[in-house]
Structure 1
Amino acid sequence: MSRLRTPTHPTYCRVVRASAWYDLVVTAGFATPWTYVLVHDVLSSGGLALGFEALPELDTWQVLFANLMGSVVVVWAVLRIVRPLPEHGLFDGIARTLFATWQAYALAHGASGLLWLFFGIEVAFGVLQLVPWRWGRNAGSVTNDASPTDGRSDASTYWK
């Protein structure tokens, strides 16, 4: 059975951290009802200024789901900023694939063209975080000289 090989180059963890900072900056405003109203207004007027349609009017459900998404993404971003492990990059790359899929679905069903800007960044960070993972040819454990033999990741080995 083949297993994934963990990217061990220090640059990879910098990419994981950079994607986390992007997420934190972009989604922090989604985390509370008060800040989301401001973000919604800025995105709507920005979209209009760029020639796209305005965002739909706010309703309670939209605000709730924006707040839930914003809260989870902020916590996930802080984890990757504080401890950017290769495994976090793998899972973030998978999450970005899901986000990009649903963004493409929304675009295909009439969402504002403003979403293309976010879609492009999701795809770019997804590719940067998933491509370095590759399938190993040897059956057995994950190839990662920087990991202890008990399977836990030692973050200090990734900063060197």
Structure 2
Amino acid sequence: MVSESTFLRVVRASGWYDLIVTAPFATPWTFALLHQALTALAHALGIGRLPAFEPEHLLMANLMGSVVCVWSVLRIRQPSVALGRYDAAARGLFAAWQAYALASGASLLVLPFLIAEIGFGLLQSVPVGRLPGRTGTQAA
């Protein structure tokens, strides 16, 4: 069990992590730079290349980046136990699809992101306790 204040710091930290990692996906221009950088990293690590993106792939990446950035800012500005629980559920879904992609032959560049999803998902799934005398917030 963690205190509510500690839990809210985790929710805020997960929001910052998502904003930093996902912002480059939000526009076609930033994604092009990210794709080049990740391709170079994959090559340097000897784990192959990333495939070229078609306009439909780019659209999906930009939509995901835009939505996650907005979700991130909400958790940074107004962290709550409820938002942490929803984020844990979303991370479970993201982790499932990342694991599926890895099992289907996706680049090992996905692995650190999978680990972060599982870690933040677990942290936002722990029981939350209240400090004595605190009222007005709901723990879940």
TM (normalized to structure 2)?
0.89
Is there any run of 5+ residues in structure 1 with no aligned partner, and where?
Answer: 1-6, 135-144, 154-160
Residue aligning to 1:118: 113
1:60 corresponds to 2:49: no
1:26 corresponds to 2:21: yes
1:75 corresponds to 2:64: no
Determine the C-alpha separation between the residues in 2 that align with 1:22 and 1:101. 19
The C-alpha deviation readout for 1:68-126, integer Å capped at 9, x for no partner, is 00000000000000011111100000000000000000000000011101100110000
Q: CA deviation at 1:133?
A: 5.6
- Read off the aligned partner of 1:78 and give its amino acid letter: V
Percent sequence identity over aligned pairs: 53
SS at match of 1:46: helix
Determine the C-alpha separation between the residues in 2 that align with 1:92 and 1:132. 15
Alpha-carbon contact 2:23-2:65 (below 8 Å) kept: yes
| Structure 2 counterparts to residues 38-49 of structure 1, below 5 A | 38-49=33-44
Determine the C-alpha separation between the residues in 2 that align with 1:116 and 1:93. 18
Q: Which has the higher helix share?
A: 2
Residue aligning to 1:147: 136
Determine the C-alpha separation between the residues in 2 that align with 1:57 and 1:15. 35
Is there any run of 5+ residues in structure 2 with no aligned partner, and where?
Answer: none
Question: Please, which of 103, 123, 128 is the counterpart of residue 98 of structure 2?
Answer: 103
1:84 corresponds to 2:79: yes
- Read off the aligned partner of 1:49 and give its amino acid letter: A
SS at match of 2:29: helix
1:50 corresponds to 2:39: no
TM (normalized to structure 1)?
0.78
Stretch of structure 1 that moved more, 124-133 or 34-43 = 124-133
SS at match of 1:130: coil
Alpha-carbon contact 1:8-1:86 (below 8 Å) kept: no
Stretch of structure 1 that moved more, 38-47 or 93-102 = 38-47
- Read off the aligned partner of 1:80 and give its amino acid letter: R
Q: CA deviation at 1:132?
A: 2.5
